[in-house]
Structure formats: structure tokens, C-alpha cells
Amino acid sequence: MGELLDLGVERGDLSRELLVPGGEGLECQLAGRLDPGELTGPAPRHRGERITAPQPKPFAFYGRVSTEDNQDPESSRSWQLTRATALIQPHGGRIVTEYFDIGQSRSLPWQRRTQASLLLAALRDPRRGYSAVVVGEPHRAFYGNQFGLTVPLFAHYGVELWVPEIGGPIDPDNEAHELVMSVFGGMSKGERNRIKLRVRTAMAAQTLLEGRYLGGRPPYGYTLRDLGPHPNPAKAADGKRLKGLTPDDHTAPIVRRIFAEFLTGIGLFAIAEGLTANHVPCPSAHDRARNPHRSGIAWSKSAVRVILTNPRYTGRQVWNKQRTDEVLLNVNDVAMGHTSIMRWNTRDKWVVSKDITHEPLIDDATFEQAQTILQKRGRGTGGQHVKQRTRNPYVFRGLIYCAACDRRMQGQYNHGNAYYRCRFPQEYALANQVDHPRNVYLREDALTDPLDTWLASAFTPHRIEQTITAMADAQPLDHPPSYATAAQAIINECNAKLERYRAALDAGADPTVVTEWITQTQTERARAEADLHAKAGNSPRHMSRADITSLVTALGDIATVLRVADPADKAEFYRQLGLRLTYQPETQTVRAAVDLSAHRGVMVRVRGGT
């Protein structure tokens, strides 16, 4: 029998017998902690050397799906993840964490997307658990110039960005890579614009030629009726059906009454008060399910005007009364992207069906007569020659509140003098159970001198320290809010977990399993930190004495400012000071207070009346 030869390799759980050339029947037993694939490697191993397999490169995955209504988020995530995995697997990569935005428009920059913002926040953490990020579909990740604004962050923190269309990591210094990604961003923007154009064109044609009801809540006076299966076979297969307008037995007579009273010369306020006095439910009270945000107590002038200007009561379908404009969120930071704002279109932009599509509540002549009266009063919606109101300067614009109803008083000029008025119609007061005069007036110049005298005396050099101290002491105690305590508890728990996981790695635990734990915990911590920062940015900050001193110092010599300032500058000064004025009509007094010291104030006697 041959002799077993110990080659001195550290013994372990893997053994293998090899025939040594040149020795007759000589066998040796090679034992050690070796990967079978390493036995054929060309490099010789030293006595006692521990051989380990190369670890896969950790990646984070980012993807996005626009809306849950039009696309299945799980299916979209799956195919994007498949593309990303196919790209990195041949290079020994493995995805250890995911960031996937659902319902986020591609036009939003990464800083305003939920998951993308968490990814950017994680880039700053050297213990993030991955060294590269892979994107499954650049069309969904980048829009317009977003790539040029985002990739410098990856380069700064040393994190690679992999894209299938590049075939690997993007080189920030490679002009070809930058050109390719810029093309994809432009294609993504163009695709979104083409979809928007096709949808709007189709909706305009369906309204103009077919008179189709395109959705939304029916106008007051109508309800919906079923018109049969949807003409689109795919939507019909999903059970969707066409809808149309039909008069509502309870509210249609009210619409006819409003038009009839208006044509006889009754004003909007009088019509609203008459309906409230007759206990007719206003539109929001009639449909409480879709108007939970409104009080529904009484009719308003605006509700009457909306009915008088709606051409759908003539039996024709109308579309495009409103549009969505995209405006810059911050004109000083274009990278923050745009936000959507709904705006009313002028009447010449409306799309009105050629034929009558549902039962009319009024005829065309009645509707046009109502529009003529509204335009003569300067309140029409489609007139191109409506005289614009002159914007008079009001020193206390938006700062004076009525104590009876806690509403802002509106500026109004009478006989060349500025007044502040709170008009509360009698029927509104009765419906709201508020003891309120019909009109409350306060003359501006009756308030200016007493207020300026008080402010100037409070901020004189020999009293300014006392005033600052009182303002600082009047602030509420700076206790951390509950959301901050909860978020900080999550962050502390995550930090403790990460320390335990690192200790496990040092003790020889499986790196693959521990890396996944670390990635999950880091994602949870980043989410808690982002939530804490977002809420903290919307919370009022407790100002220190130094902060208040800096604010007061920036305002300058208050007495001089008040004496020589023009109305516009004085109004801006009051706004920066955080001034709030509350007028009590019964006693004809005004309480003046600065928001930093809400418990301080002064009562000044003013002229005015009810």
C-alpha cells in the first residue's frame, strides 16, 4: 500500500486524494479549507494559507413607475430589475438594496422623488453597504437635464452609476457617455410631451364632435346616467361604461330659479341669501360625500356665479375650462424643477360640443343674456375688455382680523381714504350662528399713528433690550415634538443594529447575510432621517435671544423707518415684524401683537364703527 504524505495544508472540511507523479503507488491526502475551484489555480499556496472566494460587488437598484392606475408597479419593477441584474451579473455584481418610486412623475427631479431622495441621502454615508448603483431603464430614471444635475453627486461620493445602454458604469469624463444619457433624457421628455398632446387632442375631439362626458363630478343640477358599454373594447372588457348627464329632480329647479332671479335684476348676494333663507342646501351640502372639506352651511356669492357662467346648462358638453401649467418651484434654483398649477382658461379657449348632448335646463338666449349682464358688471369670465381694478396701496394688507368672525378684513377705498372692511351677510351669520354686524369698517389712518407710536417707543435705544427680552421669554418652551422623538428613536435603534452587525462581521459571520442586514437597516435609518428633516423644515423654530436681536437689528432704526417710509415699504416692514392686528368692533379697539410674543399686546383706541 502507498504511504500517505501530509503536505502541511491546514486541515478542514474538504479532503481530496491525489496521485503524486514519480512515486509508485504513492498517495497523499490534501486537506484544507479550499474552494474546489481553487485547486486548479496556477498560483501556489503557502503552508497554512486560508483561501477564500472573491466577494460579489454590492449594488443598489433604482427604478420608477409613474402611476398605479395605468401600470402594474410590481410588473414594472420586475422587468426593470431583470435588466439591471442581467447587466451586473457577468461582472460579479449583486443587488443588495432597492429604491423604487411608485406614482412619481419623471418630470420631478431626484431630490423631490421619495425613493430617489433617500438614495441621494445614502450616498453621503460611507457605510451605505454598496459601492455602485444600477438603473434598469434610463427613460424612467432621467428626464430632460436631470442626468447632468445628478451624476456629479455620484462622482463626488465615489459611487459608480451603471446603465444598460452604456453596457457598464458611466464615466463622468467621457463625452460620449454624457451625450448618450442626454439623448435619453431628451427622448424621455419628448415622449411625455407627445403623450400629453395626443391625450388632449383626443379629448378635445371627443367633446367637440361626439359631446362625450369625459368624467369628473356632474355640475349642480345634474346627475349621471348609464349610456352603455365603453366604446373602447379593452375598457369595455374591464367593465367600464359611458356616462351622461341627466337633470336632478331636486337641484335642477334651483338652477332655473337662479337664472330667472338674476335676469330680473336680483344680485348675486341677494340670490345667495334668499336660497339660504329658504333652507335650500348649497352645492357642498347637497353632495357632502365629495365636499367634506367645505362647511356646507350657506350659499355663497361665488357658488351662484359658477352656476350662472356654466354653459353646460344649455345642454352642450364643455371641456378645457381649466388648464394645468407647470411653473418653476423656485426661480432661484431651477434644478428643483416645476410644480403644477391649475388655472382658468378664458372662454375662447373652451371646447364646446356642436350639438346638444343632454337635456338643457335653460335655453341659449337665457344663458347669453346672463353673460351680458355679468360682463357689464365687470365680473364676466369671457370678456376681453373688462376693466381691471386699480391696486391701491394698503399699509395693513392681510394683517387685520375681525374679532367677531376671525376672518381677514379686506381693503376698500371710500372717498379717497383707505378702509378695512369685514362684510358678513346676514344669512351667513345666522347660518353660522355668529353675532356679526352686516358690515364692519376700520379707517386706516385712525390706526397708523397710534401703532407707529407704540412700536417706536418699544424699540427705542433705552427700551430695546427690555423688548427683546420680553419677546424671547414669551415664546413657548422648546420641547421636541412627538414626531422628532419617534424618528430619533428609530435612528438610535438602527445605529445600535449596525454596530452589532459589524461586530458579527468581525467575528466571522457570513458576509452575504450580514451585508443584507446592514443595507436594510441603513435604508430604514435614511427613511427616518428624511422624514425627520422634512417635518422639521415645516415646524416653527424656537428663536434664541441672539436670533431675535439679529432680526431687530436688521430692521434698523424703527422710528426713522416708520416716519419716512412710503406705504409699500411700511407694509413690508410690518410683514417682516410678524405683526397681527385684531379689531374688536364692539369696543372699537385694536389688539396689536408680534408673532414672537403672542401673549404681549397693546390696546389702542381708534376711530371706526360698525
- The larger pLDDT score, comparing residue 207 to residue 49, is at 207
pLDDT above 50 for 2? no
What is the per-residue pLDDT across 37-65, written as a single tens digit (0 to 9) for each?
Answer: 444 444 555 555 555 556 789 999 999 98
pLDDT above 70 for 252? yes
C-alpha cell at 292: 367634506
Residue among 105, 96, 97 nearest 67 (CA):
105
pLDDT of residue 96: 93
Mean pLDDT throughout 372-400?
A: 68
What confidence category does residue 130 fall into, taking pLDDT thresholds of 50, 70 and 90? very high
When mean pLDDT is compared across 372-376, 431-435, 570-574, the lowest value belongs to: 431-435
User: Are 442 and 606 contacting, i.e. CB atoms less than 8 angstroms apart?
Assistant: yes
Q: Average pLDDT, whole number, for the chain?
A: 77
Q: What is this structure's pTM?
A: 0.52
What confidence category does residue 227 fall into, taking pLDDT thresholds of 50, 70 and 90? confident
- Three-state SS annotation for 319-354: ECCEEEEEEECCCCCHHHCEEEEEEECCHHHCEECC
Mean pLDDT throughout 588-595?
A: 81
4-13, 276-285, 401-410, 444-453: which has the highest mean pLDDT?
276-285
pLDDT of residue 305: 93
Residue 230 burial by Cβ neighbours in a 10 Å radius (0-12, 13-18, 19+): middle
When mean pLDDT is compared across 148-157, 240-249, 371-380, 597-606, the lowest value belongs to: 597-606
Mean pLDDT throughout 450-460?
A: 75
Percent of the chain with pLDDT over 70: 72
C-alpha cell at 76: 414594472
pLDDT of residue 199: 85
User: d(Cα 557, Cα 490) in Å, to the nearest integer?
Assistant: 48
pLDDT above 50 for 74? yes
Q: Give buried/exposed letters for 476-507 (b at 16+ CB in 10 A, else e).
A: eeeeeeeeeeebeebbeebeebbeebeebeee
Percent of the chain with pLDDT over 90: 20
pLDDT of residue 27: 38
Give the 3-state secondary structure of residue 535.
Answer: helix
User: d(Cα 506, Cα 483) in Å, to the nearest integer?
Assistant: 35
Amino acid at 593: A
pLDDT above 80 for 364? yes
User: d(Cα 250, Cα 230) in Å, to the nearest integer?
Assistant: 29
pLDDT above 70 for 308? yes
Tally of residues, the chain: 610
Work out the angle at residue 430's Cα, subtended by the Cα atoms of residues 425 and 432, and round it to the nearest 5 degrees.
Answer: 95
Q: Over the Cα atoms of the chain, what is R_g? A: 36
Name all contacts of 116-119 with Cβ < 8 Å and 24+ positions apart: 116/62, 116/64, 117/530, 118/523, 118/526, 118/527, 118/530, 119/60, 119/62
User: d(Cα 94, Cα 383) in Å, to the nearest integer?
Assistant: 64
Amino acid at 490: I
User: d(Cα 199, Cα 206) in Å, to the nearest integer?
Assistant: 11
pLDDT above 80 for 181? yes
- The larger pLDDT score, comparing residue 492 to residue 44, is at 492
Mean pLDDT throughout 203-217?
A: 84
pLDDT above 50 for 99? yes
Mean pLDDT throughout 167-182?
A: 88
- The larger pLDDT score, comparing residue 581 to residue 487, is at 581
CA distances from 432 to 179, 227, 271, 466 (A): 63, 41, 18, 43
What confidence category does residue 247 fall into, taking pLDDT thresholds of 50, 70 and 90? very high
pLDDT above 80 for 511? no
When mean pLDDT is compared across 47-61, 197-211, 365-379, 410-424, the lowest value belongs to: 47-61
